Structure 1
Amino acid sequence: MSLKINKYLLGTAFAAGLLVGLPFQCGFAQSYNVVDLGTPGGSTNLGSYSAAHGINSSGAVTGEWSPNSTSQRAFLYNGTTNSDLGLLTGMLYESGHAINSSNLVVGAAENDFGAFRAFLYTNGTLVDLTTFTQTVGNYTYSIAHSINAAGKVVGESFISSALNSEIHAVIFLGNHQQTDLGTLTNGTYSSAYGINNSNVIVGESTVSSGDVYAFIYSNATMTSLGGLPGGNYSAAFAINDAGQIAGEAADSSGETHAFLYKNGAMTDLGTLGGTNSSAAAINRVGTVVGYALTADGNQHAFLYDGTTILDLNNLISSAVCTNLVSADGINDAGQITGSGYTTNGIYHAFLLTPAVTLTASPGLTNGKFMLTVQGAPGQHFAIQASTNFVNWTSLNTNTLVSASTNWLDADVPTNNYRFYRAVMLP
């Protein structure tokens, strides 16, 4: 249904061109359209599941899936199809951790004996990134956690072939080569979890006391981010191109809470009423996603919009996902990937796309028709007009920098009716 407003009609449209009429809105709460990513081939075998871990700028998703109760493999969802990435030779379990704008996927595979090998999926092939194999037992340990737009891969790895090799944060260079990023002062362990497009890296490292703290690595220097007041643990999992960092840290009571680090300060994002939370990802405008416990102890996915931590289950339809347990990735358009339960109780990966709504002020403003576009910061959209619902002309394209923006149509038409819609763009 469309709404007539002073000879003008308005609505919202998505990529498929669906038009939905809307009434006037006095307030705005972001909502999301949810897609169940299922499993490659639609497997429904006993033990079959999927879980999402990373999303790129176009909404492609990677994660893990299981065809049965004895195997686990990586997947790539390209927007329409969920595909299995196969397995590294000799490996039994595998998970995709991150995906960049070129659909390059990184992650790790594991065998029956607990040996891990980092991988890069490129051009339809899984490439082993492992550098060192222990001289005794042929044991390997390497995990790729993140990849940036330029294809630089970071993670953690043995730093020698010695039996007692330490595990350090590394940059994987390909051809079984890596750069050791070291540790914080007198530390013995570190891991790199995130990298932005300026090659600034974040992660965690032990210090001389054995405590673990979040770090930022830039210009060949690793610096501690410290922790929340009274806490002795922190870990940084993601960094955006503005240098804002998301992760988790212990507070003075020992609870672990999600944090946002910006302008040299670490902010506790709180929980959904429970005891713990953790932030997994952050986009260009500083929107953070992760998981948090509710007052009754259940784990729910959350979104932090810059001021408030929100339960994502209140912003999606339970007709598709009955409980979104975690949110693991968010892109600059505000799309979120996470995992939870279907109406049949199956654990699946999901893709959430923020809805765009279009509203209008009654009458004209200084002889102009004012439209308000509402959605998630970072969404790219076009305002289009038509006189017949068939032929549409783009009047304005823009990107939301906040939850809403206004646009004035100065070309007041002389025809009897004009129709408007907002269309999301890639």
Structure 2
Amino acid sequence: MSTQASSFIERRKQEQDHPLGKVRPELIAEIAEELELPVATGLPDATCRVQMVLRDLRPLLPESIISRLDDGRISAAEICEHNPAVYVQTFQDGSYGIVMTSALPEYLYRVARPLSSALIRLESNPSRGLELDELARILGEIVWWQCEGSFGPDYEISKHQRIYASELAMRAQRFLVAHELAHVMCDVEDKLREERPETVGAVEEELVCDYIAVQLSMHASSARDDDPNFHMLSYAAAEFALQSWSLLERLGDHAPVADSHPALPDRLAAMRQALRDCCEDEAAFEQIVLVADLIDRAFARAADLLPDIEARFSVEADAFADAIHALLDECSLEDVPDYSRFREEIRPILGRGYPVKLVEAVLSPVIDGFFLANRSGSPEFSDEEISRRFRRMKLLYSLQGSYSKPMDTLLECVFSRYR
């Protein structure tokens, strides 16, 4: 059945190419191997991530929701957008469109990685990973970089921890999609409508939807996984999703909707009540919330850093650029630059992040500066000065293919102006 929702979803999907469609084929096997997926599974396409979540939830949904999913009155998809979001839109014909942006899974995974580095330690190497204060700092920085539209810092993470991060992020997506489905249930389910008093407003509905989403997520986990550790992970992912969003709101990238969204502590309390109602006893509840409690402490510490984070990072970004310029000067004194030393000593500096500052204060001035001097023919630039600028530029050029894919992208963007 063609509905306004299904037409809306199809139109949004066609507006832009989804980034997953641009993954080079040779990378699919590499990423699948890292995440221990069958190579044939590869990566999900632009619609598959939402559909995988719906398949997990489907056996738990009421018939009124299943029938709407089947006939198009509820349409859901992932679309290409740079702001992390998931939302439901209601249409005049009574249909619903559930949209998850491509930036949401990316952001959740970016935050889940340091969390997994801190929380998951192998018995063979328990010291490998982040401590709480370092984790809090990195979480704050990742949110800051998300607001800047950039990538974050380097830190130690094992293959096992990356797999855990992927699971945490995927289960967080499941909770968020379940929350949006719960809004639809509040509209269309007769049973829910009868039980809700007329005075229930938008804030109360959010709490109801959090409750339903936790119940759906936990029952989906029980149906799919026998390992109790995965139940801990599923619940932790629900709180993790809201904590991650709350940090974005506090930094100003997403203004909180005060009239319709409850305070974070109220939402977490409703979610824990939903979990209690899923558990056989208090001991089971306490066991499941262990990981969520650790995540809560990490986010609370990260939130403490946010009030002065922009000023502090601005100072640190300046120091970052100064350190690279100093290293460029030291490694370009001879006719043949000291490539070996530069590549070795630049790595920990670049590991701090600050890609926007890197382009503005290092790459563009150094690369543009050489071509300006070389092409000007002005006596202002001596042969010695042009040679010095050329050596500094060659040091940067030597990083291509030897550091990271994001770094290659930044270098390519600047160098491409002169090709």
TM-score bracket for this pair, using the shorter chain length: under 0.3
- Name the larger-Rg structure: 2
Give the TM-score normalised by structure 2.
0.23
Give the TM-score normalised by structure 1.
0.23
Which structure has greater strand proportion?
1
Which structure has greater helix proportion?
2
